[in-house]
């Protein structure tokens, strides 16, 4: 049995079943979620693999993003449905990350079980147990990368948004995927102001609605409805993370600006100007949550993904071996 992460970030679960990357000769590719570092070389896998396996939501998001998976190759796997692919049994498990995200386990003919967390945070992620090999994402694998408020920050973010909406519009800056996660979370927390989104996000929004998510009023940037909402001063708009630098341009000084970043470890939120906030909000486990996951999962071998985690993955593998008593390696080596 050979489970490893290669230098391109492909998580090779068995000889022929690979997650979130491409290797020549693969039989099936599992897509844990739609973030760009997990769909590298996807078009090549679509051509060469016999099966593309993902949750129904992830499949629909991929097609909204322009990926065409032929019907004969498209395998929709709901959580906890055991699928037989040749001699293997593949199963997806819930992950709290972006909409549609999953973890994956594979049972081999000899009875061994291997798994991969994909990206995740706690709570809301099933902890995979009784595995011979577990590949884990450790984006925040250094011990000082802790956000002790992670479990409460959703409420703090909703409070900031609600409070700022009493004074005018609010712009939220975050990466794709995180934006959608935050839209759903604000609706859950009772924020009912219309959302304004760039036109290119509309297909993704439509997919989420089709899958039963409640998004309330969503207007496209530049539409008459968006114009009206802006005039009323009661709206939440979503912008890409990279636009934060330009937040003070063009008449947007009357709005509140909220940046979402996982790289803020000092405080759950801080004010950086008049109606300007940086909120420590991530969709990855912090160091504490990684420790919690591994302490409960206790795989016989832990493989920490260094293709994405870099030096933090190497640190976390050492920590797991020395402090948690779980045999661990970071892969690929030397990252």
Q: What span, in angstroms and rounded, lies between the C-alpha atoms of 30 and 44?
A: 13
Residue 63, C-beta contacts closer than 8 angstroms, at least 6 positions apart? 69
Using rule CB under 5 A, residue 121 touches Zn ion: no
Q: Indicate the angle between helix axes 202-210 and 178-188, nearest 10 degrees.
A: 50
Shortest Å distance, C-beta 15 to Zn ion: 26
- The secondary structure of 65-128 as a DSSP string is TT----TTTEEE--BT--EEETTEEEEEEE-BSSTT-EEEEEE-TTS-EEEE--S-BSSSSPPP
Q: What span, in angstroms and rounded, lies between the C-alpha atoms of 288 and 123?
A: 12
DSSP helix/strand/coil, 287: helix
Shortest Å distance, C-beta 223 to Zn ion: 30
Q: Which stretch binds Zn ion (CB under 5 A): 74-82, 114-122, 147-155, 273-281?
A: 114-122
Cβ proximity to Zn ion: between 35 and 93 the closer is 35
DSSP helix/strand/coil, 277: strand
Shortest Å distance, C-beta 19 to Zn ion: 13
Cβ proximity to Zn ion: between 134 and 255 the closer is 134
DSSP helix/strand/coil, 240: strand
Number of residues that bind Zn ion (CB under 5 A): 2
CB distance 46 to 69 below 8 Å: yes
Using rule CB under 5 A, residue 59 touches Zn ion: no
Q: Which stretch binds Zn ion (CB under 5 A): 21-29, 35-43, 128-136, 204-212?
A: 35-43
Shortest Å distance, C-beta 190 to Zn ion: 27
Cβ proximity to Zn ion: between 16 and 125 the closer is 125
Cβ proximity to Zn ion: between 177 and 194 the closer is 177
Cβ proximity to Zn ion: between 73 and 240 the closer is 240
Using rule CB under 5 A, residue 119 touches Zn ion: yes
Q: Indicate the angle between helix axes 311-323 and 287-297, nearest 10 degrees.
A: 50
Task: Give phi and psi for 203, each to the nearest 5.
Answer: -65, -35
Here's the x/- map for Zn ion, 86-105, by CB under 5 A: it reads as --------------------
Shortest Å distance, C-beta 312 to Zn ion: 15
Cβ proximity to Zn ion: between 18 and 191 the closer is 18
Question: Interaction with Zn ion in 164-183: which residues (CB under 5 A)?
Answer: none
Using rule CB under 5 A, residue 35 touches Zn ion: yes
Shortest Å distance, C-beta 137 to Zn ion: 8
Task: Give phi and psi for 229, each to the nearest 5.
Answer: -60, -40
Omega before 332 cis (within 30°)?
Answer: yes
Q: What span, in angstroms and rounded, lies between the C-alpha atoms of 115 and 132?
A: 8
Cβ proximity to Zn ion: between 119 and 164 the closer is 119
Shortest Å distance, C-beta 97 to Zn ion: 6
Shortest Å distance, C-beta 131 to Zn ion: 21
Cβ proximity to Zn ion: between 169 and 309 the closer is 309
Contact positions toward Zn ion, by CB under 5 A?
35, 119
């Amino acid at each position: 049995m050979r489970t490893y992460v290669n230098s391109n970030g492909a998580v090779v679960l068995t000889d022929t079943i690979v997650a979130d990357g491409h290797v020549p000769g693969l039989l099936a590719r599992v897509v844990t979620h739609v973030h760009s570092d997990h769909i590298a070389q996807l078009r090549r896998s679509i051509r060469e693999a016999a099966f593309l396996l993902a949750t129904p939501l992830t499949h629909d998001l991929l097609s909204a993003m322009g990926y065409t998976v032929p019907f004969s190759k498209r395998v929709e796997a709901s959580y906890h449905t055991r699928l037989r692919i040749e001699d293997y049994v593949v199963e997806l498990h819930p992950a709290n990350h972006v909409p549609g995200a999953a973890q994956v386990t594979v049972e081999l003919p000899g009875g061994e079980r291997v798994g991969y967390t994909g990206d995740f945070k706690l709570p809301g992620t099933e902890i995979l147990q009784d595995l011979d090999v577990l590949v884990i994402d450790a984006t925040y694998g250094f011990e000082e990368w802790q956000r002790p408020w992670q479990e409460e920050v959703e409420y703090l973010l909703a409070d900031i948004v609600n409070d700022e909406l009493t004074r005018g519009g609010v712009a939220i800056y975050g990466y794709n995927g995180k934006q959608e996660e935050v839209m759903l979370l604000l609706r859950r927390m009772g924020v009912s102001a219309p959302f304004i989104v760039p036109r290119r996000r509309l297909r993704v929004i439509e997919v989420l609605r089709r899958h039963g998510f409640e998004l309330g009023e969503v207007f496209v940037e530049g539409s008459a409805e968006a114009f009206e909402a802006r005039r009323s001063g009661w709206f939440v708009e979503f912008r890409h993370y990279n636009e934060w630098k330009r937040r003070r341009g063009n008449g947007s000084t009357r709005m509140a600006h909220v940046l979402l970043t996982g790289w803020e470890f000092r405080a759950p939120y801080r004010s950086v100007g008049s109606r300007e906030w940086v909120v420590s909000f991530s969709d990855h486990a912090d160091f504490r949550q990684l420790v919690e996951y591994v302490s409960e999962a206790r795989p016989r071998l832990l493989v920490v993904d260094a293709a994405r985690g870099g030096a933090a993955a190497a640190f976390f593998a050492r920590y797991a071996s020395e402090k948690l008593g779980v045999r661990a390696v970071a892969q690929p080596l030397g990252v």
